[in-house]
A and B are shown apart, each in its own frame.
Chain A
């Protein structure tokens, strides 16, 4: 299991495009993936509703928990989305 905190770089946080990309990437892996904001409860990373509902903005920290056969690849892919600035 990989569990780590990250600072969300995209200015809009986990909304709109970064959220959509995050969710669709999380859905592609077999590992169980959860994400939580600051002190909140972890939610299913493959649910757009849940991820958007965290209301995470750019610069805030989230905790990512990945558990399963492809956890390394999944963590790496999601980390990249969370730490890459949005293109114009």
Chain B
């Protein structure tokens, strides 16, 4: 759509809370092969030699890219390179290429021909197998490029890379210091490429659709990975704002608003990479998702193992706070060693604290013991425990009783421990309604805006048909947040959903009375910077107006400053 100021705005799915500006560079994906020579002109043995040499070089390149990806993104994302190496040396594919050469095809055509069948086969299969077809294309193109002596075209420094789709190895090979941003025609938030872009902190918008193709090479574009927008021919004001948002230096120290109200900005962490959170300037960990300790294994983790993980986190933040959320399975997070009956509505079924108090009570007890022990870590910060999916005071009191029992047992056994501070996650509408009752019994409340939105709006997070309802800026969700912050006790209130990582909403959340924001590490620098700009009094006025707004659009207009 062309705006009055000449801008063309395209909407897609933002995957990184970062903004980039630069000229368009299209990723060359079509490898055009030269016309094959006459069959008589093909020397089979020299074609075979070419293929062997190309394979060697491709393997070397893979190894180099793998090492670079491990360094930038981590070991977990490097697995794709191992898979590609295995495809590259696959005996079936080798035979297929060989046979094609026997038919007097030159090397590059032989490679093309040998991959055709398997790609079609994988494409015809369902689910993750379609992605394997992408892997095969990727591997085929590597070989063909080597044969044609073509380097992966260098991406001009500072440009915005556009592509139909990005393969994981394309993405992992990008240098975030030289690419300004990425936008693709297809793809979703959970695609591998999107996950890698996020890990690299690369501004990225995926799934823009066919309109993206209209953007010619060299066109200036802004890629706004926060709002999911690609803006071509930005006017000077849009451009300046984007330049300003471009790279935000992490702020190591705690921040306060322009008029002196301190706001804690912490990290959501779902693995053991606490140092990465600290590097982005996190004051602590506002949401330690402990599920990763429990998933992907046959036996639950031991008390010692858990205690060590929590203590590690604490030691990373000697002056901060680490909030450990107790095991939150059910819903979309099944456990391999849990028999779990299948439920018709898992999100409305046994999940979070409901499971922890009943069928997983042994696991829960072990976890609470580990938390109490870790809380006594020398030189660590404050350890807090947070209970997920609380809907009633009874559940909270039961969870607190279990914590007390774990602490007493440790005392009796003569094991060193400390009582953690206690918080409740506000994810259910019921918890928001009784926030006053809950707050009176704990040290803090933390609002999980993703689930709270899903439950307040009765809109499945996973269902794209109701994606419009899945917006935390609907007045009903804002009022649920307001209800929570207006609890009337001493407990502080945080937000640990995705909303906390959106600097465009920071002022509103401050105004609603939120004291802490916990978000993915990459979003922390921009949020901290935004906190410093906000005036607490203006924020309050903004929140008052937002709470009077009757529609999602009215809230959005307020945030746009209209």
Contacts and interface: CB of A to CB of B under 8 A. Distances in A.
Interface of A: 9-12, 15-17, 19-21, 23-24, 27, 44, 46-50, 52-53, 55, 58-59, 85-88
Interface string B161-197: 0000000000000000000000000000000000000
Contact of B86 (A9, A12, A24): A24
Contact of A88 (B76, B90, B118): B76
Contacts of B336: 11, 58-59, 85
Given A15-B132, A52-B132, A85-B298, A47 B85 contact: no
Interface stretch (B122-130, B324-332, B365-373, B459-467): B122-130
A11 B556 CA distance: 41
A11 B83 contact: no
Tell me which of A12, A48, A88 has the highest count of chain B C-beta atoms within 10 A of its own C-beta: A48
Contact of A49 (B82, B92, B128, B296): B92
B297 A17 contact: no
A44 B91 contact: yes
Contact of A48 (B79, B83, B297): B83
Contact of B82 (A21, A52, A88): A21
A58 B80 CA distance: 18
Interface of B is mostly: helix
Interface residues of B, number: 28
Tell me which of A12, A20, A85 has the highest count of chain B C-beta atoms within 10 A of its own C-beta: A20
Q: What 7 pairs across the A-B complex have the smallest Cβ distances?
A: A17-B79, A48-B86, A20-B82, A20-B86, A85-B297, A20-B83, A47-B92
Nearest to B117: A49
A1 B494 CA distance: 61
Given A9-B298, A11-B336, A88-B296, A47 B82 contact: no
A48 B82 CA distance: 11
Given A16-B80, A20-B86, A55 B92 contact: no
A11 B296 contact: yes
A41 B89 CA distance: 22
Nearest to A47: B92
Given A20-B85, A52-B129, 11 more contacts: A12-B128, A15-B83, A17-B79, A27-B89, A47-B90, A48-B83, A48-B87, A49-B87, A49-B90, A50-B92, A87-B296
Nearest to A21: B82
Contacts of B297: 85
25 contacts: A10-B296, A11-B336, A15-B83, A16-B80, A16-B82, A17-B83, A19-B86, A20-B82, A20-B85, A23-B90, A24-B82, A24-B85, A27-B89, A47-B90, A48-B83, A48-B86, A48-B89, A48-B90, A49-B90, A49-B93, A49-B118, A55-B129, A59-B336, A88-B76, A88-B272
Tell me which of B93, B129, B297 has the highest count of chain A C-beta atoms within 10 A of its own C-beta: B297
A5 to B, nearest CB: 17
A48 B93 CA distance: 9
B121 interface: yes
A23 B76 contact: no
A86 B79 CA distance: 11
A16 B83 contact: yes
B281 to A, nearest CB: 24
Nearest to B75: A87
A88 B86 contact: no
B78 to A, nearest CB: 9
B473 to A, nearest CB: 33
Contacts of B271: 88
Contacts of B82: 16-17, 20-21, 24
Tell me which of B85, B121, B292, B296 has the highest count of chain A C-beta atoms within 10 A of its own C-beta: B296
Contact of A11 (B87, B90, B295): B295
Contacts of B298: 9, 85
Contacts of A24: 82, 85-86
A27 B94 CA distance: 14
Interface in B91-105: 91-93
